[in-house]
Structure 1
Amino acid sequence: MQTYPFIEVQQKEHSFKLVSLPAGLLTRISYASVRRKDQEEGAVQRVLNNSRIAGIKDFALRMGDFPASIVLNWIGGRMTVNNGQVEISDIPKSAQIIDGQHRVAGLKAAIEEDPSVADYQIPVAIYENLDTAHSARIFISINTEQRPAPKSLVFDLYGVTASDLMDPAAIRANDIVSHLSAEGQPYNRWIKLPNQERQRGGIALSTAVNAIKPLVDSKGQLEQIGATELEIQKIIFSNFFSAIMDKYGHNWDDRANAFIYASGFIGAIEFFRSHMFDYCKSQSSFETSTIIDALSMDETSLILQEDVKGLGGSEAANAVRDRLISSFKPISASQGFKL
């Protein structure tokens, strides 16, 4: 048993102990109790995402900066405190993870590859014996009210270009896809997140991000016209898909619509890259009306999922792209750049 100095923090109904623990000890004593899977008090976690764990493992091996606290719910009996020190026994499953399960899993994977990671000091906030309701309230507070700013905005503000640690283009594309899936946007409810309940239709987050990523890369097409800011890029993609949505009207959310599937989304982005981008550039306008006017589509020529049924992934996306190209009716150039 080891003792560690701590700070007692009181916040309204609850208090917690803020303590620094070695990563090795943290990964041994803590565990994730999954909502609707583990039948115990305090079960609020989601199913682990293996890709996130791999990313955190790599980050831990390269850098190891973890300034944000892991939040635990201590269930291993009453904690013993003496002279500003708290006793922490090295006993498995002494504490449920309220927030930080992917960081803990990533650290554990990193320790398996490099045992020295076990000595990393990790800040930990420890609550004691919370029930499910109170654990859920803390979890919700952290994951909704305390959301960070879009990661790509950090690149805009601080010029962070640590490409060895993260992929700025993927982060930017992720922020754009998140915008497209927001309330009032074309893909609201149609972007499928990891561990989300299965549904017919929709585009996996990773699929949408990978489709957009080349366009927002440092040498991508949007940089060619100086459209490097997140807000401008969000408007461009929103306008493009809103124009296609306009052609479908009330049928947009119908599961027969090819554009609410992966092949439709990818095919649309390929059409944007190969034809619509240069056209909008020549028109000095990426407005929704400009794109609508360049697409000759009516109810008899809408692209439906049944039109690409039976085709492979890339073949189906190419079929959607080709149908959009056949509907593309550019008009003469106009004056002034507009969004």
Structure 2
Amino acid sequence: MPSFSFISVKQKEHTFRLVSLPVGLLTRISYAAVRRKDVEEGAVQRVLNNSRISGIKDFALKIGDFPASIVLNWVGEEIEENGGQVEIPDTPRSAQILDGQHRVAGLREALESNPGLEDCQIPVAIYEGLDTAHSARIFISINTEQRPAPKSLVFDLYGIAASDLMDPAAIRANDIVNHLSGSGQPYYNWIKLPNQDRKRGGVALSTAVNAIKPIIDEKGQLDQIGATELEVQKAIFSNYFNAIKGKYGNHWDDKNNALIYASGFIGATDFFRSHMYDYCKARESFEKETISKALAFGETNLILQEEVKGMGGSKAANAIHQRLISSFKPESKSQGFKL
């Protein structure tokens, strides 16, 4: 029977063991007991999300850094200690997963693709014999109090993380948003970065990145016309938002400007995808002037935040999208692809 060094940790009501287990053993002995699906004590897990599993599999195959502990509730034959080590029976379904079911599932799939991961070490916290109530308390603690990093912080870290860890489209979108928030650009001082002081207005970095990402993703709209270079994509988005900014004149930085809020950014990006992209593509021009001429609104009928006050995020974004559509007055086709 395999044995491992361990650290015993006592925290108020419970004691657990911290051990380092090889991926192969971990994936064989653990399983997810799903709430309202599996009739057994300790069943607190949610149904697995296949897209998350696929992402973790790819991460494991590329890099494989998993410093956070998988948390197990041991329900199999009794674990024994021997000479300062703990013996872990290699028996399927010996331990319910309290935290880390997607990591374990992703590692299991990665192991099928690369058997060499069998001996990769993963930190594991092992409780023994918890009932459903105590399992639920630990699960809730992990998933409410110990929250993951905000998306904005994750995107902000893209600039200093190894590029092979990240989604290339998200990295590119992050670069574009950083450009749009630079001096002289339309969202200067309006992109909210992690740990900044709170203020009224502004667009969270993660919101802007998520809005732009589908447009510049592989097989996205800009990819379809060969506009794949960063500088070209930066110019397209800069021209687009500067054209809208121009309609506001001196009122762009007013707190009542709907476009400097998250719903405004999303609505404007949706309008680019649904209407402005095809218009510019047909004219082979993404110049600011081309875009501006197609937008028939100005200082007398600006899109204001008061119009969407009280609306939910998606409803407000859709309302702004519709306002831009109503102002869309395309001109006849011109000649020459320009930026």
TM-score range, shorter chain: 0.5 to 0.7
Is 1:236 paired with 2:202?
yes
Compute the TM-score of the two structures, normalised by the length of structure 1: 0.60
* 1:56–1:107 contact (8 Å) kept in structure 2: yes
**Contact 1:169/1:218 (8 A) holds in 2:** no
Q: Distance in 2 between matches of 1:298 and 1:123?
A: 51
1:11 corresponds to: 11
Partner secondary structure for residue 217 of structure 1: helix
Question: Is the Cα contact below 8 Å between 1:23 and 1:119 reproduced in 2?
Answer: yes
Distance 1:116 1:95 in 2: 24
1:218 aligns with 2:183: no
Partners of 1:135 and 1:158 lie apart in 2 by: 35
User: What does 1:190-269 align with in structure 2 at a 5 Å threshold?
Assistant: 216-220=173-177, 222-223=180-181, 225=185, 226-227=188-189, 229-230=192-193, 235-237=201-203
| Partners of 2:22 and 2:119 within 8 A in 1 | yes
Task: Name the structure 2 match of 1:22.
Answer: 22
Identity of aligned residues (%): 62
Counterpart code for 1:290: N
Q: Which residue of 2 aligns with 1:261?
A: none
Segments of structure 1 that go 5 or more residues without pairing to the other structure are 172-213, 242-271, 300-316, 330-339
**Structure-2 residue corresponding to 1:103:** 103
Match of 1:289 among 256, 280, 287: 256
CA deviations on 1:3-52 (whole Å, 9 max, x unpaired) are: 11111100000000000100000000000011111111101111111111
C-alpha contact 2:74 2:129 (8 A) present in aligned 1: yes
Opposite residue 18 of structure 2, the aligned amino acid is L
Distance in 1 of aligned mates of 2:124 and 2:306:
58
Contact 1:295–1:327 at 8 Å: present in 2 too?
no
What residue is the counterpart of 2:88 in the other structure? 88
CA 1:275–1:39: 2 relative to 1, 3 Å: same
* Cα root mean square deviation, aligned: 3.6
Matched residue of 2:53: which SS?
Answer: helix
Cα distance in 2 for partners of 1:277, 1:140 equals 46
Q: Please give the per-residue CA displacement for 1:97-127, whole angstroms capped at 9, x wherever unaligned.
A: 0000010001000000000111100000000
Do the aligned partners of 2:30 and 2:97 also contact (CA within 8 Å) in 1? Answer: yes
| CA distance in 2: counterparts of 1:61 and 1:157, whole angstroms | 21
Asked whether 1:278 is paired with 2:235, we answer: no
Residue 324 of structure 1 and its aligned partner are, at CA, apart by 2.8
Q: Alpha-carbon deviations, 1:69-124, whole Å to 9, x = none?
A: 00000000321111211111111000000000010001000000000111100000
Equivalent residues of 2:25, 2:90 under 8 A apart: yes
Helix, strand or coil: the match of 1:5?
Answer: strand
SS in 2 for 1:89: coil
The one-letter code sitting in structure 2 at the alignment partner of 1:8 is S
| CA-CA distance at 1:160 after TM superposition | 1.7
> Does the CA contact (< 8 Å) of 1:23 and 1:120 recur in 2?
yes
Partner of 1:63: 63
Give the number of equivalent residue pairs.
Answer: 236
Matched with 2:230 is: none
Paired with 1:234 and 1:167, the residues of 2 have a C-alpha distance of 30
Which residue does 1:115 correspond to in 2? 115
Q: How far 1:148 moved relative to its partner?
A: 3.1
Counterpart Cα distance in 1 of 2:135 and 2:323: 51
The separation in 2 between residues aligned to 1:46 and 1:73, in whole angstroms, is 16
Instruction: Note the C-alpha offset of 1:164.
Output: 1.6
Q: Alpha-carbon deviation of 1:150? A: 1.7
Q: 1:103 to 1:234 in 2, by over 3 A?
A: farther
Q: Does 1:124 align with 2:134?
A: no
**1:4/1:327 CA distance change after superposition, 3 Å:** same
Alignment-mate amino acid for residue 302 of structure 2: A
